[in-house]
């Protein structure tokens, strides 16, 4: 949840930029993210910080490519279609993650989680329904939505990668790889760079606090959460983004945004509460016991854990 809150600050911080726009924001944000993650890796292991890049193999580069797509495609999509269309496309991420987790990881998916995914998607559609329409007819808007689809697809592949191999491969360096690829992809399109010193200070905050730090934390959190839970919680970015802009720039969200956001929040909280309740119920249930009698006088009670 903290990661989603960090991600959601992008709009509020960007409102105070003086000159930098579009892909220049993406370039600088990725560049500062690369500096932050690189520094963190060096501080963690000053002499061997480079080894994970050589030892991670294809898994590391797969995750890095996914990060690069997520860092880049969102901004390109916004340049070709509306924010509303883009957000609706991004809202399919939990569904894709759930399907991939089922097919690749064989993870069961409860009806409660299915309901939460459907409800959250409906809430986001309601948030932006009054903005969806005319722009969809143009070829640029269609291509923009196609580009935006790369974000939930890459996010879903990435959380599956983190879940399946995160315990065996150090995937923190993948964030640095993704930031590097994003910089290479966006620099030619963002040139000439025009950011002012004031812009650069804000872009540094975006690269560190809005991108680098939460992405590193998400890599750790992925070991404890199901893929669909990660992408469901990430929808909080869509929910809180307008709220921070309201506080920082005085731009009040529409009534539909507030209503849809409440629906999303109810879906996420309901799923979290129910999942926690089921988990506590299963752990508190008495374990089966097996009585083994030796010489008709000794009785041993063995739980499944004690028989491993």
Tokens of 263: 């629906």
Residue 70: inside a domain: yes
> What's the confidence (pLDDT) of residue 254?
72
> What's the confidence (pLDDT) of residue 172?
94
> What's the confidence (pLDDT) of residue 133?
55
Spatial distance between the Cα atoms of 105 and 68, rounded to a whole number of angstroms: 24
Structural domain count of the chain: 1
For 4-23, b/e burial (b = at least 16 CB within 10 A) is bbbbbbbbbbbeebeebeeb
Residue 283: inside a domain: no
Residue 301: inside a domain: no
Residue 305: inside a domain: no
Q: What is the pLDDT along the chain (308 residues), one digit of tens a residue?
A: 788 788 888 878 887 888 888 889 999 999 999 999 999 999 999 998 989 998 888 999 999 999 999 999 988 887 777 666 777 777 788 878 888 888 888 877 778 777 878 887 787 777 767 666 544 556 666 777 788 889 989 999 999 999 889 888 899 999 999 999 999 999 999 999 999 999 999 999 999 999 999 999 989 888 778 777 787 777 777 777 777 777 776 777 777 777 777 777 777 777 667 666 565 665 555 544 444 444 433 333 333 333 34
Domain containing residue 6: 2-277
Residue 297: inside a domain: no
At residue 303, the 3 state secondary structure works out as coil
> What's the confidence (pLDDT) of residue 306?
37
Residue 287: inside a domain: no
> What's the confidence (pLDDT) of residue 207?
94
Residue 308: inside a domain: no
Tokens 């992405």 belong to which residue?
215
Within 8 A by CB and 6+ apart from 180, the residues are 30, 34, 64, 68
Residue 304: inside a domain: no
Contact yes or no for 89/202 (Cβ under 8 A): no
């Amino acid at each position: 949840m903290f990661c989603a809150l960090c991600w959601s600050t992008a709009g509020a911080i960007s409102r105070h930029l003086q000159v930098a726009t579009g892909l220049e924001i993406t370039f600088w944000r990725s560049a500062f993210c690369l500096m932050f993650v690189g520094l963190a890796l060096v501080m963690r292991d000053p002499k061997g910080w480079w080894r994970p890049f050589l030892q991670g193999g294809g898994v590391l580069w797969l995750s890095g490519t996914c990060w690069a797509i997520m860092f880049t495609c969102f901004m390109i999509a916004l340049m070709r279609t509306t924010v509303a269309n883009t957000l609706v496309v991004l809202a399919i991420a939990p569904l894709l993650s759930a399907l991939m987790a089922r097919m690749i990881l064989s993870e069961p998916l409860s009806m409660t989680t299915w309901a939460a995914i459907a409800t959250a998607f409906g809430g986001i559609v309601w948030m932006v329904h009054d903005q969806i329409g005319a722009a969809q007819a143009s070829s640029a808007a269609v291509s923009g939505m196609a580009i935006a689809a790369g974000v939930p697809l890459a996010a879903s592949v990435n959380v599956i990668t983190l879940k399946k191999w995160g315990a065996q491969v150090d995937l923190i360096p993948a964030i640095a790889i993704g930031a590097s690829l994003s910089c290479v992809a966006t620099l030619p399109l963002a040139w000439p760079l025009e950011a002012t010193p004031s812009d650069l200070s804000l872009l540094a905050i975006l690269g560190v606090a809005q991108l680098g730090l939460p992405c590193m934390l998400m890599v750790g959190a992925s070991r404890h959460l199901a893929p669909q839970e990660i992408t469901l919680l990430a929808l909080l970015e869509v929910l809180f983004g307008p709220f921070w802009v309201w506080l920082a720039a005085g731009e009040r969200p529409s009534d539909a945004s507030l209503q849809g956001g409440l629906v999303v929040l109810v879906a996420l909280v309901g799923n979290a509460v129910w999942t926690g309740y089921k988990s506590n119920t299963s752990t508190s249930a008495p374990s089966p016991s097996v009585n083994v009698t030796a010489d008709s006088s000794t009785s041993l009670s063995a739980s499944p854990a004690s028989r491993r």
